[in-house]
Amino acid sequence: MRLFRRPGFITISILLIIYLIIGIMGQYGYASAVLGNAMDTMMYIGWALALAIIMSYAGYVSFGHAVFVGLGAWMTALVVMNIMGTQPFTPTMFVFSLVLAAAASALLAFAVGFVVLRLRGAYFAIATIGLDYVILYLAVYMLRRAGIAPPLLFRNLNLTIQDFYWMHFIVFAITVIVAYLAKVSRFGLGLAAIREDEEAAEVMGVDTFRYKLLAFTLSALLAGMWGAPLAFRQAKFDPYDYFSLLNSVIMIVENTVGGLGSFLGPIIGSYIYYALYWTLLTKIAQASFVVLGPLIVAIIALAPEGLVGWLRRRFPRLRGALE
């Protein structure tokens, strides 16, 4: 019962209630704008928490997590175009896409992680950058061999914006719950020990390689699941969009700005990134990233421990609440 009284569980409950209400009330008024923004924030939080399991909890920075989102979208494209054929959309189609996306991402992460997780620090980060480009060009090559010039467009499934919303909500709920349970479990304690001092963790009996491999696989599984609702929403699979290194960088920025080592940090970082991005996008359009980059650097320079870390240091009484 103590789990239900923890700050992180309360945060999850509040988030799920808010997004549930938005989904129920979204058919009224400015439905498209409200639901669209809500889907985007759920997606960014989901991306950040997926990466947090290996980066924030274990201290390993992965530049390749966009690959798993893209792989999930790729598997969804296969389901829509080949397995389901000309059948009308059913919830089973989404569930099957979700399971296939998660399984494919987890298998790839396990295979890649078995090799690259023997590296540490910058060497691991560099290896994951290579993963982005290997899978990108593999996807482009396979599409062109099939006679398809990217992007691969889906048939019209006659889905509404609320259909897309509930897809996002389902994956969002799974992501926040799994990420939190991973943080507060014995598994999370092992990852924290690895983050603080991997050699000391090994001396204390933590099977560091097994913990890292499991964290990388679970992190990829959650990221891969996000490919399914995104592919249905965009009705296409474009390798250049999904496998973009920029998407991986966004996930890293969200974790860093919010604060590493916490569950709340990636969530706060996602809202900060989204608010800055859309504020600048509406003001200066194409130049938004030119301004956004220095702003993010300034935030990290002023609070290198992230916003949650800064709040913990500035207000010690909040340490218990900022889980």
Rounded mean pLDDT, 6-32: 81
Kindly report, residue by residue over 296-323, the tens digit of the pLDDT. 667 666 666 777 777 777 777 766 666 6
Asked whether residue 208 carries a pLDDT value surpassing 70, the answer given is: yes
Amino acid at the residue 143: L
Rounded mean pLDDT, 213-217: 95
Kindly report, residue by residue over 187-202, the tens digit of the pLDDT. 999 999 999 888 888 8
Kindly report, residue by residue over 95-113, the tens digit of the pLDDT. 999 999 999 999 999 999 9
Rounded mean pLDDT, 167-175: 96
Query: Where are any strands of DSSP class E within 74-224?
Result: 152-153
Asked whether residue 29 carries a pLDDT value surpassing 60, the answer given is: no
Asked whether residue 44 carries a pLDDT value surpassing 80, the answer given is: yes
The reply to whether omega before 266 is within 30° of 0 (cis) is: no
Asked whether residue 254 carries a pLDDT value surpassing 80, the answer given is: yes
Most confidently predicted of 69-78, 84-93, 169-178: 169-178
CA distance 49 to 105: 16
Rounded mean pLDDT, 141-165: 81
Asked whether residue 225 carries a pLDDT value surpassing 60, the answer given is: yes
Share of the chain above pLDDT 90, in %: 36
Asked whether residue 78 carries a pLDDT value surpassing 70, the answer given is: yes
Query: Where are any strands of DSSP class E within 113-250?
Result: 152-153, 236-237
CA distance 304 to 37: 28
Q: What is the per-residue pLDDT for 285? A: 53
Q: What is the per-residue pLDDT for 321? A: 64
Rounded mean pLDDT, 243-258: 88
Whole-number average pLDDT of the chain:
85
> How much is the pTM?
0.90
Q: What is the per-residue pLDDT for 114? A: 92
Burial class (CB in 10 A: 0-12, 13-18, 19+), 244: middle
Asked whether residue 293 carries a pLDDT value surpassing 90, the answer given is: no
Decide which of 79 and 39 is more confident. Answer: 39
Rounded mean pLDDT, 225-238: 91
CA distance 222 to 225: 5
Rounded mean pLDDT, 258-276: 88
Nearest to 100 by CA among 217, 234, 224, 236: 224
Q: What is the per-residue pLDDT for 124? A: 87
Q: Please, what is the end-to-end C-alpha distance for the chain in angstroms?
A: 17
Share of the chain above pLDDT 70, in %: 86
Put residue 89 in one of left, alpha, beta given phi > 0 → left and psi -120 to 50 → alpha: beta
Q: What is the per-residue pLDDT for 283? A: 59
Rounded mean pLDDT, 237-248: 88
Q: What is the per-residue pLDDT for 273? A: 87
Q: What is the per-residue pLDDT for 201? A: 86
Q: What is the per-residue pLDDT for 303? A: 67
